[in-house]
A and B are shown apart, each in its own frame.
Chain A
Amino acid sequence: MKGPLIDTLARQGITRRTFFKYCATLASMMALPPSAGRAMAEAMAAARRPSVIWLPFQECTGCTESITRSHSPTLEGMIFDLISLDYQETLMAAAGHQAEEARHTAMKENHGKYLLIVDGSIPLGLDGAYSCIGGRSNVDILKEAAEGAAAIVAMGSCASFGGIPKANPNPTGAVSVSDIIKNKPIVNIPGCPPIPVVMTGVLAHYLTFGSLPELDDKGRPKAFFGETIHDRCYRRPFYDQGKFAKTFDDEGARQGWCLFELGCKGPVTYNACATVKWNGGTSWPVESGHGCLGCSEPDFWDAGGFYKALSMPADPLKIAAAAAVAGAAAGVAVSFANRAKKGAAKKAHETTTLADLEK
């Protein structure tokens, strides 16, 4: 599969209009004007396959599931096929020494040019012994692979921010990619899991412009993470009108009113779920009647309860993050006090009830 992308696509029966249609949708998702969609289509059509090495660390394979099973064969999937994926433990047929060999060959042949995708956090506890591949620690493998990479894509909340492995009390000492690698361009695509099209968008940008897209202060592509879920939510008008669901089965819930009071983290969560949606554009959490969990924000797991309404003035994600660092800052806010209580209950071998978790 050598040669320009459009020729490979044509061999698979994809016409130029089909590809342009796809690029128009992609560009719109990346908040680019229609003219840029055209330019993107032309540049992408002529692009050649970049070498990609994908390293899975402390992860659940949910990110890979999200990307590879987005929905039945689509252009997205085909473009994903069109990169030269030289190493991906879940997908590749090779195993053992052959697989490691393939990685080393790809790294050597494409030194300085390959794209490195990482999913999963990297444990630093016990010299990284919590997660090893082929007898080598994740941190060791990451440093080696990052050395010759043109850029790194941190795929999912774990690779971007530490994610669930890093959640309090972080038993393995998990950290993100950017905590370890400082001298390479890194793009974070957080989400648990991330949205497939964000990956394709970043890839499309890389192929079109030869660089990573514009990033925000947390290293996320601005096109997809530029606005909060709340800002783009179709239920937003109800928030503005002060119409809130108070329980999951009340009148307001049936009418599809705002889920803010049921703990929706939409107002402090930057992601594209509200516009791109999930499962091939079928629906997304808020549309199915559940508030946003904030899974693409740092330390979302420790942000004080999925069903607790955001307090005002609100930035609980930040407060919780600070609490995780400070540890003993009990009494500052209600959630901290409850955490302490939970800790005490655990020490006394008491059963933690659902009610405790909800506090």
Chain B
Amino acid sequence: MTLDAIPIHVVNTPPGEPGLTGNARPLLRELLEAAGRLLETGETSAIDLSALPLTPADLDWLREKLGAGEISVTLQAIGESTLNETACPGVWWVTHHNEQGAVTSQFLEVAFVPELVKADPHDVESGCEYLELLISDLS
């Protein structure tokens, strides 16, 4: 049996900019404001992309507009997370995946360094203990 036997014909989305809702555009202005706030007060902010009515086309549009920056960080933590700087320094595209590779949440984080990249003091403490252990093993 061929696919022709199924009485449904696939309609390809028309050329132009399919699926664009226009909802992604105001985000650029919001980012500008957030980046200004970061410069003035050092306050970081984040826009939760999975909580907004954005179509896949909208997200592609946004990703294309913001472009890729110099730094991309990958975190392996029950699924991969990517924290990529966009072409606008200070604006990071943060994507969390689960183990199956599905996106669990997606943020635009406006910060000098994304929160998750920083080492936690508790973990630094553990790091110190480990270093001390290494040193004591040497002597």
What is A's interface to B at a CB cutoff of 8 Å? 14-18, 20-22, 24-25, 28-29, 31, 33-34, 38, 71-72, 74-75, 232-234, 236-237, 249, 251, 254-256, 275, 280-282
Distance to closest chain A CB from B26 (angstroms): 13
Shortest CB distance B91–A (Å):
14
A71 adjacent to B51 (CB under 8 Å) = no
| Residue tally, chain B, CB below 8 Å to A | 36
CA distance A282 to B77 in the complex (A): 19
Task: Name the B residues within 8 Å of A21 (CB-CB).
Answer: 75, 77-78, 81, 96, 116
Nearest B residue to A78 by beta-carbon distance?
Answer: B78
Chain A nearest CB: distance from B127 CB in Å?
12
With A24-B107, A25-B96, A280-B104 already in contact, 18 other A-B pairs whose C-beta atoms are closer than 8 Å: A18-B77, A20-B115, A21-B75, A21-B77, A21-B81, A24-B96, A24-B105, A24-B115, A34-B45, A72-B99, A233-B53, A251-B11, A255-B13, A256-B19, A275-B51, A280-B98, A280-B100, A282-B102
* A16–B122 touching, CB < 8 Å: yes
The distance from the CB of B6 to the nearest CB of chain A, in whole angstroms, is 11
B22 at the interface (CB under 8 A from A): yes
Which chain B residue shows the least CB distance to A75? B78
Partner of B109, one of A34, A75, A237, A281: A34
- Does B21 have its Cβ within 8 Å of any Cβ on chain A? yes
The 9 closest A-B pairs by CB, nearest first: A237-B21, A18-B77, A25-B105, A34-B46, A28-B48, A281-B102, A236-B53, A254-B11, A275-B51
Contact A74 to B98, CB < 8 A, known contacts A14-B78, A275-B50: yes
Distance of B131 from chain A, by nearest CB (Å): 18
Question: Is B113 interfacial (CB-CB < 8 Å)?
Answer: no
Asked if B123 is an interface residue, CB under 8 A from chain A, the answer is: yes
**Total A-B pairs in contact (CB under 8 Å)?**
83
* Interface pair B77/A17, CB less than 8 Å apart: yes
| Chain B interface (Cβ < 8 Å from any Cβ of A) | 8, 10-11, 13, 19, 21-23, 44-46, 48, 50-51, 53-55, 75, 77-78, 81, 96, 98-100, 102-105, 107, 109, 115-116, 120, 122-123
Chain A contacts of B100 at CB under 8 A?
Answer: 71-72, 280
Please, could you name 24 A-B residue pairs with CB atoms under 8 Å apart, sorted by A? A15-B123, A17-B116, A20-B115, A21-B78, A21-B81, A24-B105, A24-B116, A25-B105, A28-B50, A28-B105, A28-B107, A31-B51, A34-B45, A34-B46, A34-B109, A74-B98, A74-B99, A232-B53, A237-B55, A251-B11, A280-B104, A281-B98, A281-B102, A282-B102
Task: For the complex, give the distance between the alpha carbons of A256 and B96 in Å.
Answer: 26
Contact present for A234 and B55 (CB under 8 Å): yes
A101 to B13, CA, bound (A): 63
Name the contact of A18 in the complex, choosing from B21, B22, B45, B78 (C-beta under 8 A): B78
In the assembly, what is the distance between CA of A34 and CA of B46, in Å? 7
Inter-chain CA distance A71–B78, complex, in Å, is 13
Whether the Cβ atoms of B11 and A237 lie closer than 8 Å is no
Contact partners of B103 in chain A: CB under 8 A:
281
Residues of B within 8 A of A22 (CB): 78
Chain A nearest CB, measured from B44 CB (Å)? 7
Contact A71–B120 (Cβ < 8 Å) = no
Q: Assuming A72-B99, A74-B98, is B53 touching A38 (CB within 8 A)?
A: no
**Which of chain A's residues have a CB closer than 8 A to the CB of B13?**
255
- Nearest residue (CB) in A for B10 is A254
Complex Cα gap A111–B29 (Å) = 53
CB of B104 within 8 A of CB of A281, answer: yes
| Chain B residues closer than 8 Å to A15, beta-carbon distance | 77, 123
